């Protein structure tokens, strides 16, 4: 492995830090690497794996102003690229405005999720709460050959070169980016149309918008999605003709919000609501469907079955776990991040467009979340979902499950004791002929070996374990969201950009 250190960021975190989401598997990094010809420590790297796996994560470099929340860390993107039986690695901080300002100041400047906004030393910044740093640390997708990182509380979309993770600036959509509202995490890319579908939300009416960016990177559609009040949506889904947005009864307590406090509460007496919107429809075209009260952090997919929209995601049996006095102070404080405490299970809603009724069914008894799929099937009928299992009481992934949605069967792979993974992306094999004809890719942090690895598994034989294990140059911080971008698609966009430059576009 040929390794080069290309940067070290200023960090003021204490050496005696005891916060569990800034230590152990969540210990942040300050070093940026270029590593070529990654060492294969097990198996053989497939020659029909071509593209890049990208993973975003929260990686703090300064102590919080008061109370650190795991979602407050700065964005860092990891890239593992594959071509012709070789692999490379890059990692870079996302150079957000907030990150650069805090590097210059040498300290945190904005209040985090678990802190009152008045603590902020700067009043600018994105976020539905206001005066909150846009860390662009939540999600990553690839649109038109460019990686876009996003923030769960809405903010800018930062543009990154997908093979180097170098920050290229912000998305502007020729000046039509919704700068006053930003964009939420989890915009969706439809590979069939080349469109980017997105939503945003805030504390001001109408409380939500929905928009479409076309394959030419133009904002071509943007409408109000009126809600009863401020909400906390996190994800969306799409079909061939519709998008589905959520209004769930876990949101800020209105009375507390009126006094400047942000206290989330699960309102058990209110239903879950799904907005079904034609992809180029107007506000008047929105149809609302009511379902059992829950909170959905992530959807897997949606598709049309005649006059019914089939929507799959993770139903939380207990969206607001109570403090039962069990565990240490950290387990109790962050109990709402643990999959077992939230009782998160794969679930299906069937939205009948003729009757307006919803039928629901639990698809699995297993506690899983962060579901991924073969992206070429997104928006259409599909069979497989690849989800994470969690360490009890902690926000750590300790294995993965392949859900077969037709048979109900499951295949499992456990990472092992004290090994924790990332969201698992599905990479179709070059010349793929089936939905699970490809590979699953994830990054792991092995606490006993004090090292990190990239695992490549056969998507059709998950329980067999990795077909290849690659060593990374440093133990990385645990993380969440990821994506896969095929190499042929990235090269096509690179040639398109060269041609545009040649004629002065």
Tens digits of per-residue pLDDT, 228-258? 999 999 999 999 999 999 999 999 998 888 8
**Cβ atoms of 340 and 331 closer than 8 Å:** no
- DSSP summary character for residue 110: S
**Cβ atoms of 65 and 102 closer than 8 Å:** no
pLDDT tens-digit readout, 24-83: 999 999 999 999 999 999 999 999 999 999 999 999 999 999 999 999 999 999 999 999
User: What distance in Å separates the CA atoms of residue 243 and residue 255, rounded to the nearest whole number?
Assistant: 32
The three-class DSSP label of residue 164 is coil
**Cβ atoms of 276 and 307 closer than 8 Å:** no
Q: Which residue reads 């109000």 in tokens?
A: 224
Chain centroid to CA 154:
13
Say whether pTM exceeds 0.75. Answer: yes
Report pLDDT for 503.
Answer: 45
The domain defined by 2-49+58-502 carries CATH number 2.130.10.10: yes
Element (H, E) at 98: helix 97-105
User: What distance in Å separates the CA atoms of residue 28 and residue 359, rounded to the nearest whole number?
Assistant: 43
User: What distance in Å separates the CA atoms of residue 426 and residue 53, rounded to the nearest whole number?
Assistant: 9
User: What distance in Å separates the CA atoms of residue 335 and residue 317, rounded to the nearest whole number?
Assistant: 14
Name the residue ranges covered by the structural domains of the chain. 2-49+58-502
pLDDT tens-digit readout, 92-112: 999 999 999 999 999 999 999
CB atoms within 10 A of CB 442: 27
Backbone CA torsion sign across 259, 204, 214, 157: negative
> If pLDDT is split at 50, 70 and 90, which confidence band does 323 have?
confident
> If pLDDT is split at 50, 70 and 90, which confidence band does 130 have?
low
How many CA atoms lie less than 13 Å away from 436 in the CB half-sphere?
16
Percent of the chain with pLDDT over 90: 90
User: What distance in Å separates the CA atoms of residue 59 and residue 57, rounded to the nearest whole number?
Assistant: 6
Token pair, residue 356, equals: 């307006």
């Amino acid at each position: 492995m040929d390794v080069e250190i290309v940067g070290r960021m200023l960090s003021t975190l204490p050496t005696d830090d005891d916060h569990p989401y800034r230590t152990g598997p969540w210990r942040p990094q300050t070093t940026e690497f270029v590593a070529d010809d990654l060492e294969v420590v097990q198996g053989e790297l497939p020659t029909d794996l071509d593209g890049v796996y990208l993973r975003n994560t929260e990686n703090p470099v300064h102590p919080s102003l008061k109370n650190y929340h795991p979602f407050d860390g700065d964005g860092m993107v990891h890239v593992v690229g594959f071509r012709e039986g070789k692999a490379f690695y890059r990692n870079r901080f996302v150079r957000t405005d907030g990150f650069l300002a805090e590097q210059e100041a040498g300290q945190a400047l904005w209040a985090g999720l678990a802190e009152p906004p008045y603590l902020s030393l700067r009043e600018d910044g994105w976020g539905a709460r206001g005066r909150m740093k846009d860390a662009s640390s939540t999600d990553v997708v690839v649109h038109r050959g460019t990686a876009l990182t996003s923030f769960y509380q809405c903010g800018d979309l930062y543009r990154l070169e997908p093979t180097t993770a170098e920050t290229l600036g912000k998305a502007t959509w020729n000046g039509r980016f919704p700068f006053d509202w930003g964009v939420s995490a989890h915009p969706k890319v439809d590979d069939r149309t080349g469109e980017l579908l997105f939503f945003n939300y805030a504390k001001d009416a109408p409380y939500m918008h929905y928009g479409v960016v076309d394959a030419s990177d133009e904002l071509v559609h943007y409408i109000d999605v009126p809600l009863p009040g401020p909400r906390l949506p996190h994800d969306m889904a799409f079909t061939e003709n519709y998008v589905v947005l959520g209004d769930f009864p876990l949101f800020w307590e209105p009375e507390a919000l009126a006094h400047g406090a942000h206290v989330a509460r699960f309102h058990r007496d209110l239903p879950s609501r799904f907005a079904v919107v034609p992809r180029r429809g107007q506000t008047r075209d929105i149809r609302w469907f009511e379902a059992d009260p829950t909170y959905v952090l992530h959807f897997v997919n949606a598709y049309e079955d005649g006059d019914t929209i089939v929507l799959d995601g993770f139903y939380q049996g207990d969206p607001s776990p109570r403090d039962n006095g069990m565990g240490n102070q950290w387990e109790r404080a962050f109990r709402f991040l643990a999959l077992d405490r939230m009782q998160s299970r794969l679930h299906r809603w069937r939205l009948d467009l003729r009757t307006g009724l919803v039928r629901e069914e639990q698809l699995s008894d297993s506690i899983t979340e962060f579901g991924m799929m073969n992206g070429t099937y997104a928006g259409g009928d599909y069979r497989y979902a690849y989800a994470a299992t969690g360490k009890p009481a902690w926000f750590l992934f300790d294995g993965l499950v392949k859900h077969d949605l037709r048979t109900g069967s499951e295949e499992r792979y456990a990472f092992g004791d004290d090994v924790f993974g990332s969201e698992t992306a599905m990479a179709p094999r070059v010349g793929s002929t089936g939905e699970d004809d490809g590979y699953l890719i994830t990054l792991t942090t092995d606490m006993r070996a004090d090292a990190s690895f990239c695992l490549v598994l056969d998507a059709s034989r998950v329980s067999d374990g990795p077909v290849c294990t690659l060593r990374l140059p440093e133990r990385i911080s645990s993380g969440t969201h990821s994506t896969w971008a095929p190499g042929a698609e990235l090269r096509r966009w690179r040639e398109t950009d060269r041609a545009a430059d040649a004629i002065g576009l």
